[in-house]
A and B are shown apart, each in its own frame.
Chain A
Amino acid sequence: MTEGSARVYLYGVIRDGEPLVLDVPPINGDRPVRTIRHRGLAAVVSDDPLPRYELIRKNIRGHQAVIDGVMRTNDILPTRLGTVLPSARSVVEDVLEQRWAELGRLLERVRGRVELGLKVSWLDLQRVLGEIVAADRDLRTTRDRLVRHPAWVTHEARLALGGRAAEMLAVKREREADEIVTALEHQAVDVCRNDPISELMVLNAAFLVERRWTEAFETAVEKLDRGCGGRLGFMLAGPLPPYSFVGVG
């Protein structure tokens, strides 16, 4: 087998020497998922990769299925979709050997830990805007004036009102995001905050949590959900591999 010259698809890196069951199909092709081992580390790979992996759900699912399968029993440092190395030798030299110390350190960082993704959004923007207006006298005055005198509603006035509301929305969003993180962070090892995806989104965060604390974390999120008076929607995903807390590939 010309193993040395064939491209390989890389799913992630695990500790070598731990029991591992590879029973998930590869992202493409029919040659089974396998490992390439080197100095206590093991790369989870498959053969005959495609020239390119577009970011579509089919490929994402195939990639994640392998990583999730491994994660059931082992800690894994996952790669991004489409990480292909030119050869098995390159996996050894350019990934496992070259980054040996860093990979070891990261594997320790995530030992026994998983990622939980939390996206929180306002459910009713109108209601939130109402809260902002109610809390800010200047904004309320301006808004009321424009409502009473439609003739005064110039393009500039409309822009100014919208701009001010957007500013205050941003402040409110940040403050509510901080509150949620503060309520949860003591049950996590680490938090990674990303940009919200939409205007309604308040928080887009990844939490690194001990495996044995995931249930308690979920309960805490449910508690926040129940206690927010229907203002917020909580979307919790996971346990996931620690994509947000490592950087492989």
Chain B
Amino acid sequence: MGLLTNLLLAPVTLPARGVGFIFREIRDVVDQELNDPDAIRRELLELQRRFEAGLVDEAACDIAEAELLARLSAIAGRQGTGEAAGGAG
């Protein structure tokens, strides 16, 4: 996490904008990861690969899938589209 490293190494006197600016940057990076449907779909793909390779058992796979689907639904809900559905069909 280059951003955090840079922040850790920054001079002690912060710019006038202050701490709020830093928190916003961190939040943006985290938001991107949590709210990117493609990132979540990549996780689903990785999960299926691991299941096929026998690295994850069925029960664990079901739990992980449910969580990822829930995140997709939540994003769709926030963005007001119905597109992230399609798992419960």
A residues in contact (CB < 8 Å) with B: 28, 50-60, 119, 121, 197-198, 201, 204, 235, 237
Report the nearest B residue to A200, measured CB to CB: B55
CB within 8 Å of A: which B13-71 residues: 41, 44-45, 48-55, 58, 61-62, 65, 69
Total inter-chain residue pairs, C-beta < 8 Å: 56
- Are A50 and B53 neighbours in the complex by a CB distance under 8 Å? no
Task: Give Cα A56 to B58, complex, Å.
Answer: 12
Beyond A57-B62, A57-B65, A235-B54, whether A51 also contacts B87 by CB under 8 A is no
Chain B interface bracket (under 10, 10 to 19, 20 to 34, 35 or more): 20 to 34
Q: Of B65, B83, B84, which is within 8 A of A56 by CB?
A: B65
Report the nearest B residue to A81, measured CB to CB: B48
Q: Would you give 26 A-B contacts (Cβ < 8 Å), ordered by A? A: A28-B89, A50-B85, A50-B89, A51-B83, A52-B83, A52-B85, A52-B86, A53-B89, A54-B41, A54-B44, A54-B69, A54-B86, A55-B44, A55-B48, A56-B69, A56-B87, A57-B48, A57-B61, A57-B65, A58-B87, A59-B86, A59-B89, A197-B49, A197-B50, A197-B53, A235-B54
Report the nearest B residue to A197, measured CB to CB: B53
Report the nearest B residue to A58, measured CB to CB: B87
